[in-house]
Chain A
């Protein structure tokens, strides 16, 4: 009995994904719930586990193919037992059942005329063994057919420029033969989505940025003082981020426009504080959301952020964790940025940019002192937030960081 592997529900308003990578080849034995492949959506990459134990008998949607929720990814021949051999990659005309001969390879969205033509035998073997999406390779044959040469050239170009082929080329060929001068890589779905949303923010919002700077002395002191006992009690390091999250909430409560959104003709004020915290991941920037962060203690905030970071690295963040924030904090400081203007995460109205802490001479009570300073940036949507509010927000936040007791006292 072949069990179908189906694209799972991906989360709210997400209907499409790209097959990022199959971990298994056709013929491989898989255990139930063992990850079979990785799907890349607008927001996350997620693993699709094996619905049953058995043998992967067919890959319908190869690497790079766009699939919709509910689409067929492949099939597993139920049963167990393991094979010592690795009988690999035999497979699957694209659309199963009907039109077996006519259909080329897995290409739900035929790109060219040639998509209707069968793959030549040598090409079919090659694309399957290499896990390629034939639709993504430009064909130079008659009527746009894919030739073996096309696939081989694609493979060469797709690989990191390795040592020049043994037989190859005169020594002094500068560039042309030695290494490709440029490399074209398909944009990941996440990257594409990030690009779209950032541009959308710039096109929609009346975005501008206000700056301030904050003296981190008090925070540093508090952190040094309580680091060990905090870690001992909560099992998590006391970082700066929890202070900024809590300070931001104090300021958001005071300036509700910053926590609000424009929807059509209306302004929606949010009485909940879901703070997105931008973290880097191998797939790119992702922004998991701390739900109801106003109700979380410092330790809970630190723990959640830590967990997000780990899951982002493993690409295991869920769609729910990445949607629905009301305000975002981005810390470019971890990479050494001294000053930057963050772009809004629509439909949110503001984003806080933290930066690198740097010892700088500052004037304190008429004297020059060296203090650990950080620039703060607040980008905001001027359609909703006026300068006065934005600046007040940032000042309030600054006060809370410079005098953390204020957070406790909600001042």
Chain B
């Protein structure tokens, strides 16, 4: 067999692509993965989840040192920030993880091509290297996992110096005195938090009159209160009409979303974080006849197949939440389908996590969704104030909220703001997958003392019988 003939060629090596490639290889398919960027891992590992989490952890330590250590009886002289070292550490984490994928590819015999993957026809992919050199691959099936890119905002041209996307905001050479963030979604709040902790004054602009759409309203409200206390300023219900780089910094023009007087704010930098759009540039979709929808997403059927036979798509480039773990699960499912197995993704049990501190995490239905659907539900809530582990660590903010079917007690949604909420939410996902009742959670033994006890107490609270509240 020629070394350019494959059962499967995956375009993109982000969490969707690399996982699909490894799973397919595990299942015996001769698999190649084409990645345009030098290092593997896509947005997530290079300029997304991973570097932002590295900075969130570092900045959290910095903030704790400044604000909380004294209370723990840890005294030191002057607190200093070595931003270059913090950034270097972040780079090291990214480097290790991307190399980890290269290792996994080797281990699983996935062939890695560096270059832009361009579909010339069903079954034909050209790898276009930066110098223009092309390598033709043949594939029984193709999986598009090309991911997404920063959504542009009209009137705001990103230069990654003063007007930043998330990529630029992960690599600032110094802490801006004043940072403006456009968009109160996950990225805006996480990176806003990073720079706030490191000393910037941060103002978050949001078009809607609430943050963290489409998360549960009560959760978002709780988050806003806590983040405001940490010094984030919010301008909700406003529209940013322009951002101009000036000598001093950036001049941001905004007005009420409903219309109103134009105002300006001058910041040292502005982060545009209004969302992401599917990335399909240079893929040759048009030539291959692959259909996309009005939002530019590749259209797929229930088995991830596009309208063109043998061409599949997963991850950010298709419908659904733009989340690494959603893409990963789709990667597993599509690989298994291609290997002749059954493959599923349960889109009703995909957790969402915001890695601020406290963390914000949710899985399943929000109260708003249940109300809109006319579902009768019960609510159980428990505050970390009353959680003993939270007491010992000093993490007292936030709560766990469990929504359960009024009649059957089946868990419909779990919403957490609190310490390690992103970890606690795993238990809730499992409950949803297995159709567990709130009582099932309540009767599952949870270790003491643990943040997880708050989940158990919230489950008890569904029946109005929390012990510690």
Contacts and interface: CB of A to CB of B under 8 A. Distances in A.
Nearest to A29: B309
A90 B337 contact: yes
B344 A124 contact: yes
A57 B433 contact: no
A120 B337 contact: no
A87 B338 contact: yes
A149 interface: no
Interface string B302-336: 11010001100000000000000000000001001
Contacts of B337: 27, 87-90
A84 to B, nearest CB: 6
A120 B303 contact: no
A145 B435 CA distance: 9
Given A27-B337, A118-B433, A89 B346 contact: no
Contacts of B222: none
B338 A90 contact: no
B440 A89 contact: no
Nearest to A128: B342
A84 B37 CA distance: 31
A85 B303 contact: no
A402 interface: no
A30 B346 CA distance: 28
Nearest to B365: A101
Interface in B132-164: 140-141
B348 A100 contact: yes
A120 B434 contact: yes
A77 B434 contact: no
Contact of A85 (B140, B333, B435): B140
Interface string B420-458: 000000000000011111001000000000000000000
B346 A121 contact: yes
Contacts of B338: 85, 87
A76 to B, nearest CB: 12
A91 B309 contact: no
Interface in A70-87: 77, 79, 81, 83-87
A142 interface: yes
A26 interface: yes
Interface in A107-138: 116-118, 120-121, 124-125, 128-129
Given A84-B140, A118-B435, A57 B344 contact: no
A83 B142 CA distance: 12
Nearest to A118: B435
Contact of A57 (B303, B408, B435, B436): B303
Given A129-B341, A129-B342, A83 B309 contact: yes
B228 to A, nearest CB: 35
A129 B344 CA distance: 12
A152 to B, nearest CB: 15
Interface residues of A, number: 32
A101 B363 CA distance: 13
Nearest to A141: B434
A116 B305 CA distance: 30
A132 to B, nearest CB: 11
Contacts of A58: 302
Given A27-B303, A90-B333, A145-B434, A121 B344 contact: yes
Nearest to B305: A87
B274 to A, nearest CB: 30
A145 B434 CA distance: 9
Contacts of A129: 341-342
B408 A116 contact: yes
B303 A86 contact: no
A118 B434 CA distance: 7
Contact of B435 (A81, A89, A90, A117): A117
Contacts of A128: 342
Interface residues of B, number: 29
Contacts of B38: none
Contacts of B293: none
A89 B305 contact: no
Most A CB within 10 A of own CB, among B301, B333, B342, B410: B342
Interface string B110-144: 00000000000000000000000000000011000
A89 B433 contact: no
Contact of B341 (A55, A84, A88): A88
A81 B303 contact: no
A87 B340 contact: yes
B343 interface: yes
B301 to A, nearest CB: 6
A117 B411 CA distance: 11
A221 to B, nearest CB: 62
Interface string A136-169: 0000001101000000000000000000000000
A91 B440 contact: no
A58 B344 CA distance: 13
Contacts of A27: 303, 337
A206 B408 CA distance: 53
Contacts of A85: 7, 140-141, 310, 338, 340
Nearest to A88: B340
Most B CB within 10 A of own CB, among A77, A85, A120: A85
A86 B340 contact: yes
Contacts of B336: 125
Contact of B433 (A77, A88, A116, A121): A121
Given A101-B348, A145-B435, A88 B305 contact: no
Interface of A: 26-27, 55, 57-58, 77, 79, 81, 83-92, 100-101, 116-118, 120-121, 124-125, 128-129, 142-143, 145
Q: Which 9 A-B pairs have the closest CB atoms?
A: A117-B435, A101-B348, A128-B342, A89-B342, A90-B303, A88-B340, A118-B435, A87-B337, A129-B342
16 contacts: A26-B342, A27-B337, A55-B309, A83-B309, A85-B310, A85-B338, A90-B303, A90-B337, A116-B408, A118-B433, A118-B434, A121-B344, A121-B346, A125-B336, A125-B342, A145-B434
